[in-house]
Amino acid sequence: MTVPHVDDVHPAWLPPEAFRAIGARRVLVLADGSPLSGTVRAEVADACARHGGAVAAPGEPYDLVLALASGGSLPPEAAALKGPELGPEGFLLARTGGVTAVLADAPAGLLYGFFAVVRLGEAAFEGERPAETHRPALERRMLDHWDNIDVHPVMGQVERGYSGGSIFWRDGVLHEDLTRVRAYARLLAATGVNAVAVNNVNVHAPEARLLTDRLDEVAALAAEFRPYGIRVHLSVNFASPIALGGLETADPADERVRAWWARTTERVYAAIPDFGGYVVKADSEGQPGPFAYGRDHADGANMLADALAPHGGVVHWRAFVYNHRQDWRDRSTDRARAAYDHFAPLDGRFRDNAIVQVKYGPIDFQTREPVSPVIAAMPDTRLAVELQVTQEYTGQQRHVCYLAPMWSEVLGFRFWGEGEPAVAEVIKSGGLVAVSNVGDDRYWTGHPLAQANLYAFGRLAWDPGLDPVAILDEWIGLTFVPGDDEGGERLRATLHGMMDGSWRTYERYTAPLGVGFMVRPGHHYGPDVDGYEYTPWGTYHFADRDGVGVDRTRATGTGYTGQYPKPWSEVYESLAECPDELLLFFHHVPYGHVLHSGVTVIQHIYDTHFAGAEEAAEIRALWAKLEGDGLVDPALHARVRELLDEQVRSAEEWRDQINSYFYRKSGVPDARGRTIY
């Protein structure tokens, strides 16, 4: 194993400088002969070679010891720590008598412990540190790629990708040099991610073949991810038995179909013994599924679960199922209800190795949605929550939009009220999944500051209780290595000033009060208030001259509020209690309705849109002040500056279109007399 370094690609949160504290010291590694232990040794050797430290041989003095608890003769610092079970990925970290010690039960824990020391930097080698136990809160921490092999005529190489092409495939073939994939695996491991699905959930013809005659490509990718403890998963097409197996059916009850999946899966494991499993989008937006055969989603998922079970694999079955050919005239059909209506009745029917993967909100990755009620409705099913790191609806990596505060709200949401379990506890055995924002761009994520979202995803999946601002601070420290001097302080303060509140800023200048969408149909960038209003997609705001919003109450609307347990079924139902930020998601109200904040809905729309666009301009001004003072690389500074110009332009466009639209509909002027068109 050699540590991957890729020329001409930004090192993200693992620049060589981030390894100085470890690399300048004497490090003892007491591990086994496993590949992951080899990775830890290689990392230590690489850091030491760069920064003048040394890999200590047994018997030699050392400042840091990384040891497997099973590793026979433990040095006293590590032996003293032995105690609680750490599990397959956990580790203990402590410092006594001038020695920092990481102890793990298994090599993966050692690797995560190593990166924990990297994050701490010099602080890991100061004073005394009482033993801390670290274990991931969630079993599986997974990134889904929506990468295609062929360039799709509409969606391109990566569906909803805003960072160039795929790091896996280009124009129909796997990249010849996969060093970049190894480097990506390393970045992910440093955040705690342990699973990656490599291809788009919309599985087109060439990508379907990854399961069979193109399996060697998946195996090649798995070989790059493996040294960093990441298992590879594959999105599969439900109709594969027809398309690839020559059968005339994909019916999950048909023995030939079941046998085909069993055989095919066996071959996958013969090639990739640690293969993670399948991801499936079925009966959704035109993808095939069990409905064609009169079967339900449990039937479909269980068939694949049964094929995977003998090999220890799992199927992630997505709950993103709704009617995308809705009649906009029909106000009784509510897309928000769909996932619950399809899946809640199936609770208890899914196999142990079937995980139902639920988008965090009931619609589709909007800037603000209530947390999906499906998460509360399936106590006897393993559930995973799906987030979108790629910023499809949150600025497409042209806008600064730090999403960890939103994710943290979702993970901390308590369906059954205070003192009851939070979402993060409900999904313990299922995990957290997100659509990756990475491409072959020089900065990995298009917008260099969007790296922070990828970083924060991994950290929150490991520990959902972490504070998003603290995570950002950690990311700044690793990525920019700011000094303790005035310049370093200024850089930190600037990035916090730009990013801490950027999700709320984005919310202010886009669709108001949780109503959602209002984006340009198709590519989903920029404002188009009525763009989806008369389409079959089920995403409407119902604005007229009197008011706006979707009535999802039980009393007079679609009844969606009834999908929540108490207290939320009542809070959301009640116009008086519904939180402002979700008001238009749950209620249709007159423009003069007074919010908890004390202003009317129409005035709130004007105020937030003027404020949001102003804040975007302030974010740009903060960045401009860093120009030329040597605190950030000039090329990176220039890239961000250009993107900020676009963000400010776009925010003004949003402000003017939304304000003008609602002024023209309502006829109510802005109380402060600002310019509306």
Quick one: tokens of 222? 């798995």
Of 37 and 397, which has the nearer Cβ to ligand GCW? 397
Of 392 and 551, which has the nearer Cβ to ligand GCW? 392
For residue 560, give every residue at least 6 positions away whose Cβ sits within 8 Å of its Cβ, in sequence order, or none.
Answer: 334, 336, 337, 362, 552, 586
Nearest by Cα to 496 from 407, 581, 404:
404
Q: How many residues does the chain have?
A: 677
Q: Rule CB under 6 A: is residue 392 a binding residue for ligand GCW?
A: yes
The least distance separating ligand GCW from the CB of residue 651, rounded to whole angstroms, comes to: 22
C-alpha distance from residue 615 to each of 63, 304, 501, 621 (Å): 47, 49, 10, 10
Sign of the torsion formed by the C-alpha atoms of 358, 363, 369 and 372: negative
The least distance separating ligand GCW from the CB of residue 208, rounded to whole angstroms, comes to: 15
The least distance separating ligand GCW from the CB of residue 392, rounded to whole angstroms, comes to: 6
Per-position x/- string for 338-377, each x denoting binding to ligand GCW as judged by CB under 6 A, each - no binding: --------------------------xx------------
What's the CA gap between 552 and 258, in Å, rounded?
A: 41
> Which residue in the set 166, 202, 235, 505 belongs to the binding site for ligand GCW (CB under 6 A)?
202
For the segment 33-62, give every residue that binds ligand GCW (CB under 6 A). Answer: none
Of 160 and 609, which has the nearer Cβ to ligand GCW? 160
The least distance separating ligand GCW from the CB of residue 386, rounded to whole angstroms, comes to: 8
What's the CA gap between 233 and 240, in Å, rounded?
A: 16
Count of C-beta atoms within a 10 Å radius of residue 102:
27
The least distance separating ligand GCW from the CB of residue 202, rounded to whole angstroms, comes to: 5
For the segment 60-99, give every residue that binds ligand GCW (CB under 6 A). Answer: none
For the segment 564-623, give every residue that binds ligand GCW (CB under 6 A). Answer: none
The least distance separating ligand GCW from the CB of residue 284, rounded to whole angstroms, comes to: 6
Which DSSP string do the residues of 241-257 spell out, in sequence order?
A: HHHTT--S---TT-HHH
Of 40 and 280, which has the nearer Cβ to ligand GCW? 280
Q: Which residues are registered as beta bridge partners of 234?
A: 278
Of 225 and 320, which has the nearer Cβ to ligand GCW? 320
Of 381 and 390, which has the nearer Cβ to ligand GCW? 390
Of 69 and 280, which has the nearer Cβ to ligand GCW? 280
User: Nearest residue by C-beta to ligand GCW?
Assistant: 364
> Which residue in the set 281, 588, 593, 639 belongs to the binding site for ligand GCW (CB under 6 A)?
281
The least distance separating ligand GCW from the CB of residue 283, rounded to whole angstroms, comes to: 12
Of 67 and 280, which has the nearer Cβ to ligand GCW? 280
> b vs e for 380-408, b when ≥16 Cβ sit within 10 Å of the residue's Cβ?
ebbbbbbbbbbbbbbbbbbbbbbbbbbbb
Distance of CA 183 to the CA centre of its chain: 19
The least distance separating ligand GCW from the CB of residue 237, rounded to whole angstroms, comes to: 13
Q: Rule CB under 6 A: is residue 238 a binding residue for ligand GCW?
A: no
Q: Rule CB under 6 A: is residue 396 a binding residue for ligand GCW?
A: no
Q: What is the total count of residues that contact ligand GCW (CB under 6 A)?
A: 10
Q: Rule CB under 6 A: is residue 226 a binding residue for ligand GCW?
A: no
Q: Rule CB under 6 A: is residue 160 a binding residue for ligand GCW?
A: yes
The residue with tokens 């008369």 is 534
C-alpha distance from residue 479 to each of 455, 476, 499, 620 (Å): 10, 5, 15, 20
Nearest by Cα to 320 from 381, 350, 272, 365:
365
Of 240 and 366, which has the nearer Cβ to ligand GCW? 366
> Which residue in the set 201, 210, 280, 519 belongs to the binding site for ligand GCW (CB under 6 A)?
201
Sign of the torsion formed by the C-alpha atoms of 355, 356, 359 and 364: positive
Nearest by Cα to 218 from 281, 289, 267:
267
Q: Rule CB under 6 A: is residue 551 a binding residue for ligand GCW?
A: no
What's the CA gap between 175 and 166, in Å, rounded?
A: 9
The residue with tokens 């899914």 is 350
Alpha helix stretches (DSSP H) within 353-450? 374-377, 404-412, 423-426
Q: Which residues are tagged catalytic? A: 285, 364, 392
Of 217 and 364, which has the nearer Cβ to ligand GCW? 364
The least distance separating ligand GCW from the CB of residue 358, rounded to whole angstroms, comes to: 11
Vertex 642 angle, CA 637 and 645, to 5° = 125
Residues 249, 238 contacting (CB under 8 angstroms)? no
The least distance separating ligand GCW from the CB of residue 289, rounded to whole angstroms, comes to: 13
Q: Rule CB under 6 A: is residue 159 a binding residue for ligand GCW?
A: yes
Per-position x/- string for 288-327, each x denoting binding to ligand GCW as judged by CB under 6 A, each - no binding: --------------------------------x-------
> Which residue in the set 91, 146, 360, 503 belongs to the binding site for ligand GCW (CB under 6 A)?
146
What's the CA gap between 58 and 40, in Å, rounded?
A: 16
Asked if residue 76 has a cis previous peptide bond (ω within 30° of 0), the answer is no
The site for ligand GCW (CB under 6 A) is made up of 146, 159-160, 201-202, 281, 320, 364-365, 392
